[in-house]
Amino acid sequence: MNTYKIAVIEGDGIGKEVVPAAIEVLDTVAKLDGSFQFEWTYFPWGCDYYLEHGEMMPEDGIETLKQYDQIFLGAVGMPNIVPDHISLWGLLIKIRRGLKQSINVRPAKLLAGLESPLKNPQNFDITVVRENSEGEYSDSGGRIHNGADEIAIQNAIFTRKGTERAMRYAFELAKNSNKHVTSATKSNGLTYSMPFWDEVFEEVKKDYPDIDTAVNHIDALAAFFVMKPQAFDIIVASNLFGDILTDLGGAIMGSIGIAPAANLNIEREYPSMFEPVHGSAPDIAGLGIANPIGQIWTGKMMLDFLGHHEAGARILNAIEKTLASGIKTGDLGGTATLAEVKNSIIGNL
């Protein structure tokens, strides 16, 4: 029997509610499968920890996390008490960069039983592979002068290594699932970075002659997400483009409360981190009404990454059954509590 050592960071707000619910689901599916189990180790890091210790996580936190197979994270942030840049850079970004989680994967899929805000959504099932370590989100640039003479420079940094890594990951995903790959570009407006991005895409695709490809400018792609999301399988995008596109993906699915995500160290040298798209949702924290599906689906992505695809599929089926039976939290227009949704999913497993 495989035992996976998982570091758990519930974090703040609804993270403390949705993570225990997802762990219950994951333990149940592990028991039903019988070939693996989880050993959960909890770390109380986040904004409460910051208020007590003056840091979001201990100095040696990254070293501690390296001892685990994967990281399962809820949400981090208490915007009214701890400034967002402290909670973000003191924990999330520190982990993503410290553990070289260079790929961010976010699916957008129309689940059975869910209402998309699109008027007539076809059955879409998209996976966005977002470069997670460089590109437009690079700490490079500066500001000089004041007033009317003020200048701000923000550099976007694209390395061949980082660009190629994201693209190869997208092609490997497509290869294993018989899908096609779309590259998100903007080479008609950005004159250095995106022509480079296009060139690397042309090179990488030669290694995958059986996979169909397309190249779309990001503005057109955003429109297509609304007009015909069913036309896409795997999309590879830079850090900024992927960030924007995946929020749109979450929106057309029906609620940010169901959208899952993974920050992957694809070399498997360090643990990867699985965290839903949504944040700590302070407006509904502690009320027991948060939607646990985003966190539970994120757990399914962790299972997939660990190679347990059958167990992962079982979770997604159980989620769809629950939604189809009308058991939904308020963000999806229902009246169910977090516990009712979680118990229904466990029942459906």
The smaller minimum CB distance to ligand ATP, of residues 210 and 283, is found at 283
Q: CB of residue 102 vs ligand ATP: minimum separation in angstroms?
A: 21
Return phi, psi of residue 282, to 5°: -60, -25
- 198 touches 183 (CB < 8 A): yes
Q: Least distance to ligand ATP from the beta carbon of 341, Å?
A: 10
Instruction: Give the nearest distance from C-beta 323 to ligand ATP in angstroms.
Output: 14
- Pick from 177, 92, 57: which is nearest to 129 by CA? 177
User: Phi then psi for 72, rounded to 5 degrees?
Assistant: -115, 115
Residue closer to ligand ATP by CB (options 254, 279) is 279
Residue type, 292: P
Looking at the Cβ atoms of 242 and 257, the one nearer to ligand ATP is: 257
- CA atoms within 13 A of residue 65's CA, in its CB half-sphere: 30
Give the footprint of ligand ATP on residues 235-294 (CB under 6 A): 256-257, 278-281, 283-284, 290-291, 294
Amino acid (1-letter code) at residue 21: A
Comparing CB distances to ligand ATP, the nearer of 211 and 277 is 277
- The residue type at 248: L
What is the token pair recorded at 13? 């707000």
**Between 17 and 136, whose beta carbon lies closer to ligand ATP?**
17
Is the distance from CB of 332 to CB of 255 less than 8 angstroms? yes
Distance CA 108, CA 131 (A): 17
Which positions ≥6 away from 154 have C-beta within 8 Å?
Answer: 136, 140, 141
Q: How many other C-beta atoms can be found within 10 angstroms of the C-beta atom of residue 196?
A: 16
In the complex, least distance from residue 5 CB atom to ligand ATP, rounded to whole angstroms:
26
Query: Considering only residues 8-27, where is the footprint of ligand ATP by CB under 6 A?
Result: 14
Nearer to ligand ATP by Cβ, of 44 and 282: the residue is 282
Give the nearest distance from C-beta 165 to ligand ATP in angstroms: 26
- Confirm or reject binding of residue 104 to ligand ATP (CB under 6 A): no
Does residue 345 touch ligand ATP according to CB under 6 A? no
Nearer to ligand ATP, 8 or 75 (CB): 75
Binding mask 53-82 vs ligand ATP (x if CB under 6 A, - otherwise)? ----------------------x-x-----
Residue 272 half-sphere exposure toward CB, CA atoms < 13 A: 24
Closest contact distance (angstroms) between CB of 253 and ligand ATP is: 13
- Residue 134 CB, shortest distance to ligand ATP, in Å, is 22
> Using the rule CB under 6 A, is 298 a contact of ligand ATP?
no
CB contact at 8 A, 218 and 241: yes
In order of 18, 24, 164, the CA distances from 290 in angstroms are 7, 16, 38
The pair of three-digit structure tokens given for residue 158, joined into one six-digit string:
């694209």
Among residues 81 and 214, whose Cβ is nearest to ligand ATP?
A: 81
Number of residues that bind ligand ATP (CB under 6 A): 16
Helix axes 15-33, 309-324, angle to 10 degrees: 120
Least Å distance, CB 329 to ligand ATP, is 6
Told to check if 93 binds ligand ATP by CB under 6 A, we report: no
Give the residue closest to ligand ATP by C-beta: 279
Element (H, E) at 240: helix 239-253
Question: Which parts of this chain interact with ligand ATP (CB under 6 A)?
Answer: 14, 75, 77, 256-257, 278-281, 283-284, 290-291, 294, 329, 331
